[in-house]
Amino acid sequence: MIADSMKSFVKNSSAIRAMFEEGKKMAQEYGAENVYDFSLGNPNVPAPAEVKEAIIKELEDDDPVMLHGYMSNSGYEDVRKAVADSLNQRFGTAFHENNIVMTVGAAGGLNVILKTILNPGDQVLAIAPYFGEYNSYVANYQGEVVVVSPDTETFQPNLKELEKKITGKTKAVIVNSPNNPTGVVYSEETIKAMAGILEKKEQEFGTDIYLISDEPYRELAYDGVEVPYLTKYYKDTIVGYSFSKSLSLPGERIGYLVIPDEAADAEDLQNGANVATRILGFVNAPSLMQRAVARCLDAKADVPYYDRNRNALYQGLKDLGFSCIKPEGAFYLFVKSPVEDEKVFCEAAKKYHILIVPGSSFACPGYVRIAYCVAYETILNSMPGFEKLAEEFGLRK
Ligand code: PLP
């Protein structure tokens, strides 16, 4: 019999994944071109050409024994150095290889750092709306997620509530900008204010509060919007990065953690993350992918592709009477449901073969998430369905 704790994980298994499976079934039944699957953040643009070239070069040039072998649990030293150098060049930081731990995507990185820092009962603040998997990652180490409720005007963090919810048991705050599901980029002003609150609370409680910056969407920002690099604003910041979205490599499972020397107990954290990578069973991030991404640190995500989708979807839905804020990054639109129970709206959308995810999966009911990392035609062809929904729910008379 499976563990009781696992039973509840299975029961609450991600609504997003369930929808993805449903989409595949619908595609078989009605034809893929007649299904508008906006459920999963699975990039549909190919990885940049540099990735293929890098993989081929590694396979051709590298010693195969070394290429496919074990290495330090934190990753190849030269890869970590290349990552550190690239960050220093881009953000004016001063990282070195010991600040970098290669990870199995952002999900692997978050699990490694949470395993490293959490004692049972420690609290982790998550700012709604947030990626629902954080609940499982924190529960994996018997931590407790404390939800900071959303500011639905701006979807910037509700800092007053954040401040109130920090206690002596707060071990970390997780932020994600550009944000899944809203596409909002946390402004420099917000980050500075948040850093001030965290510093004050560290002093008040005599504790270390880590700011975990989950950044799979860093490279996906539109209209020249700057995404602040958080280690520059708050010393106890740990960055979790992923190549899943920027280089369209979600199935390859590759990313890294940045653990700066300035962070409290940095050396313990770095050693802890090394051991956590091993004992969680990852052992190390995939070796070929480590070497490949090190050659592609300057490769560019196809931002114009997503930008065209963003504009078409945003304008199309606005014209139909839906309300949402225009995303500045990532590839999601977070739309106000025309009925209070957004699950009713998501169910109704299925009639038109439109698959969208309820906001309650992101601790923000009353909204729905539409992932626009799809073909441009999918957006255009879904519009008649959205129009019928707008009529059905009284947005258009
Ligand atoms: N964090 C956020 C906010 C995400 O949206 C995702 C994936 O969608 C992840 C983490 C996990 O990313 P990865 O595929 O790199 O594990």
CA pair distance 284, 319, nearest whole angstrom: 49
| Cα 316 from chain centroid (whole Å) | 26
Please state, in angstroms and rounded to a whole number, the distance separating the CA atoms of residues 187 and 270. Answer: 29
Q: Residue 43: CB within 6 Å of ligand 1?
A: no
* DSSP annotation string for 115-147: HHHPPTT-EEEEESS--THHHHHHHTTT-EEEE
Q: Tell me how far apart the terminal alpha carbons of the chain are, to the nearest angstrom.
A: 54
CA of 107 to the centre of ligand 1 (A): 6
Going from the C-alpha of 66 to that of each of 24, 60, 71, 76, 284, the distances in angstroms are: 39, 13, 8, 10, 14
Q: CB neighbours (10 Å) of residue 187?
A: 17
Q: What separation in Å is there between the alpha carbon of 93 and the centre of ligand 1?
A: 24
Q: Residues near 387 by Cβ (< 8 Å), separated by ≥ 6? A: 320, 396
Q: Find out whether the beta carbon of 73 lies less than 6 Å from any atom of ligand 1.
A: no
DSSP character for 108?
H
Q: Please give the C-alpha separations between residue 378 and each of 16, 323, 334, 375, in angstroms, as whole numbers.
A: 19, 20, 18, 5
Alpha-carbon distance 115 to 53, whole Å? 35
Strands of 100-103's sheet, edge to edge? 100-103, 255-258, 237-242, 210-215, 170-175, 123-127, 144-148
Instruction: Give CA–CA dist 83/371, Å, rounded.
Output: 29
pLDDT per residue of the chain (397 residues) written in tens, 0 to 9: 999 989 888 887 766 677 778 888 898 999 988 999 999 899 999 999 999 999 999 999 888 888 999 999 999 999 999 999 999 999 999 999 999 999 999 999 999 999 999 999 999 999 999 999 999 999 999 999 999 999 999 999 999 999 999 999 999 999 999 999 999 999 999 999 999 999 999 999 999 999 999 999 999 999 999 999 999 999 999 999 999 999 999 999 999 999 999 999 999 999 999 999 999 999 999 999 999 999 999 999 999 999 999 999 999 999 999 999 999 999 999 999 999 999 999 999 999 999 999 999 999 999 999 999 999 999 999 999 999 999 999 997 6
Whole-angstrom Cα distance, residue 103 to residue 274? 10
Ligand 1 near 105 CB (within 6 A): yes
Cβ(178) – ligand 1 distance below 6 Å: no
Q: Say how many Å lie between the CA of residue 354 and the centre of ligand 1.
A: 23
Measured from the CB, is residue 41 less than 6 Å from ligand 1? Answer: yes
Candidates 40, 227, 244: which one to mutate for ligand 1, based on the most atoms within 8 Å of Cβ?
Answer: 244
Q: 179 CB under 6 A from ligand 1?
A: no
Q: How far is the CA of 65 from the centre of ligand 1 (A)?
A: 31
Q: Cα of 364 to ligand 1 centre, how many Å?
A: 18
